[in-house]
């Protein structure tokens, strides 16, 4: 028998107005409906209703992880520095790490993710190929010192995450573990009611090779992804790469011609001054790669994607040059840099193919040059696809114009390979009696973030609207009146609980029916049952929160309908 939760005793105060600092829909509604409360910037307290939703998502995750044979463990959140120093991530994570010292001066961190610690655990526990494959997971609090935590629980400094890791002796085994997790994630996100896309992604600080993200399309999303309307291609914008065919046949271009172009340090001012399209100009962005000044060339109508550039050049650190850098290099004329004659490394987008001619800087103040030809007047040291993807760019798979959408990252899976096994010398004795290096996969789901993602996708103008699987209750019973209605509401609530349903009943005295109805819509339980004007006849109103459909039924029929 389930328990009945009375609103009069529930620790949850609903609010009529949005919080002043809330920008996203989920932030507004989770606070207003009494699911969470802010403790500090990026740190949230989960109240009873919110904890129920969080636990329900965790339950679904556990069920599907257990179904593929993964075993749950719980590792510490407070971790020693040494494993992360060995992997290089003590430095790579930079300011994102929460770092602290114990009373003896030893360095520790609050775990952002646990590849290193799981690797050490398996090294301690598994010594033979007979111990593998193994898949381990945990649902635990993680920590990242976000510079600008925002959007409520979507981007916090403390958050709940499911992270799992697979350990295999062969690449084929890793591919199988990866496929099992991929299928499990599809089931998890379908069960909790999320519309999602699986997209190609980059590995970032996690390392490894193959990588895919699970994205929930939403206006509040911080990720941008491309989606092809004609085929099944989808990718994070940083993972999109285009193949370009060099211009066919040789084209004769005139000699380089210098042009007097005063006050034209930007592509916009240059194109307007010369009456040429921005696409005919060559934009040269100066960056520092591990401190070395490098020029990056793209067509003038495109922007450099610094994230994509950083992924191409990882683990090198990429920074934009500063005014001080220009002062130290008088040969680099700010706003008028051209690739011809440069004494620095030159990286270019594939669109800057050999034989193409451009209008670009002449490396002199207030001067540009026309007919600057790639391969004739300058050489490209390295071609990299580094432009920001735009709506309408050709799909790499079929050529159809791509669509751009915003989304929330809810999961990420990686084929890590042997990066961490190499670091910690994770070997087992193979079938031939010789050591075999283990290969790994890493798989994450943002559990607390999923709460906000579901809220973003399913809420309407009245409030939250939870899918049945993760809702804090199955039915919200409202006593819309005084003694008679309250008595019937409590009786129906007990009948529903006896039938195994999770029940929230609003029997608050001194609260008007209008406020109760508004709160029921705001809280978002899938079914609302009202004991109202026909209570004396034993008739109640049953409403579907999502569709708004209402029906008056005898109590027995309403209970039977909800049990079905």
- Quick: pLDDT tens for 419-437: 999 999 999 999 999 999 9
Residue-wise pLDDT for 36-68, tens only, equals 999 999 999 999 999 999 999 999 999 999 999
Q: Give the angle 397-403-193 at the CA atoms, nearest 5°.
A: 100
Residue 560 and residue 548 in contact, taking contact as beta carbons nearer than 8 Å: no
pTM here?
A: 0.89
Largest CA distance in the chain: 96
How far, in Å, CA of 195 to CA of 265, rounded? 45
Residue 135 and residue 177 in contact, taking contact as beta carbons nearer than 8 Å: yes
Token pair listed for 125: 């526990």
Q: Find all residues with CB under 8 Å of 245, minimum gap 6, and list them.
A: none
How far, in Å, CA of 24 to CA of 338, rounded? 43
- What pLDDT shows up at residue 203? 60
Percent of the residues in the chain that have a pLDDT greater than 90, as a whole number: 86
pLDDT, mean of residues 517-536: 97
Helix orientation angle between 555-563 and 483-498, rounded to the nearest 10 degrees: 30
| Confidence band of 411 (pLDDT split at 50, 70, 90) | very high
Helix, coil or strand: residue 397: coil
Pairing of strands 503-506, 4-6: parallel
How far, in Å, CA of 296 to CA of 318, rounded? 12
């Amino acid at each position: 028998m389930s328990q009945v939760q009375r609103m009069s005793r529930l620790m949850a105060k609903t609010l009529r107005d949005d919080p002043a600092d809330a920008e996203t829909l989920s932030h507004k509604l989770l606070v207003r409906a009494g699911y969470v409360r802010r403790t500090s910037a990026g740190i949230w307290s989960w109240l009873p209703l919110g904890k129920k939703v969080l636990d329900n998502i965790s339950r679904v995750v556990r069920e599907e992880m257990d179904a593929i044979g993964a075993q749950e463990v719980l590792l510490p959140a407070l971790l020693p520095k040494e494993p992360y120093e060995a992997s290089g991530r003590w430095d790579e994570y930079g300011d994102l790490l929460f770092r602290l010292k114990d009373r003896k001066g030893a360095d520790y961190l609050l775990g952002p993710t646990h590849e290193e610690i799981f690797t050490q655990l398996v090294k301690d526990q598994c010594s033979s190929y007979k111990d593998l494959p193994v898949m381990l997971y945990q649902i635990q609090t993680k920590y990242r010192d976000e510079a600008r935590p925002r959007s409520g629980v979507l981007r916090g400094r403390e958050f709940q995450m499911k992270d799992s890791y697979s350990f295999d002796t062969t690449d084929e085994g890793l591919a199988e573990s990866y496929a099992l997790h991929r299928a499990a994630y599809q089931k998890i996100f379908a069960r909790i009611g999320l519309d999602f896309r699986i997209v190609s992604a980059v590995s970032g600080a996690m390392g490894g090779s193959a990588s895919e993200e699970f994205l929930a399309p939403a206006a509040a999303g911080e990720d941008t992804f491309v989606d092809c309307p004609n085929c099944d291609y989808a990718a994070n914008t940083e993972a999109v790469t285009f193949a370009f065919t060099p211009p066919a046949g040789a084209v004769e271009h005139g000699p380089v011609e210098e042009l007097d172009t005063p006050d034209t340090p930007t592509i916009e001012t240059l194109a307007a001054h010369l009456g040429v399209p921005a696409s005919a100009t060559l934009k040269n962005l100066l960056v520092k790669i591990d401190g070395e000044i490098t020029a990056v060339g793209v067509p003038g109508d495109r922007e450099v994607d610094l994230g994509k550039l950083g992924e191409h050049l990882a683990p090198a650190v990429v920074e934009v040059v500063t005014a001080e850098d220009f002062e130290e290099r008088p040969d680099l004329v700010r706003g008028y840099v051209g690739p011809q004659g440069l004494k620095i490394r030159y990286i270019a987008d594939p669109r800057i193919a050999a034989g193409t001619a451009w209008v670009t800087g002449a490396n002199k103040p207030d001067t540009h040059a026309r007919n600057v030809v790639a391969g004739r007047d300058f050489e490209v040291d390295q071609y990299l696809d580094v432009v920001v993807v735009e709506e309408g760019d050709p799909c790499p798979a079929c050529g159809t114009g791509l669509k751009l959408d915003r989304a929330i990252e809810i999961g990420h899976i990686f084929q890590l390979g042997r990066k961490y096994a190499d670091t910690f010398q994770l070997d087992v004795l193979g079938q031939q009696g010789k050591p075999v290096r283990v290969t790994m996969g890493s798989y994450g789901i943002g559990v607390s973030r999923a709460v906000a993602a579901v809220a973003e996708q399913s809420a309407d103008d009245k409030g939250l609207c939870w899918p049945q699987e993760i809702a804090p209750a199955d039915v919200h019973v409202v006593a819309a009146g005084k003694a008679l209605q309250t008595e019937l509401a409590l009786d129906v609530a007990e009948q529903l609980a006896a039938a195994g349903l999770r029940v929230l009943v609003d029997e608050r005295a001194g609260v008007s029916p209008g406020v109760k109805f508004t709160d029921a819509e705001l809280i978002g339980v899938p079914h609302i049952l009202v004991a109202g004007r026909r209570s004396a006849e034993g008739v109640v109103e049953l409403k579907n929160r999502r569709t708004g459909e209402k029906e008056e039924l005898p109590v027995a029929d309403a209970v039977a309908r909800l049990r079905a």
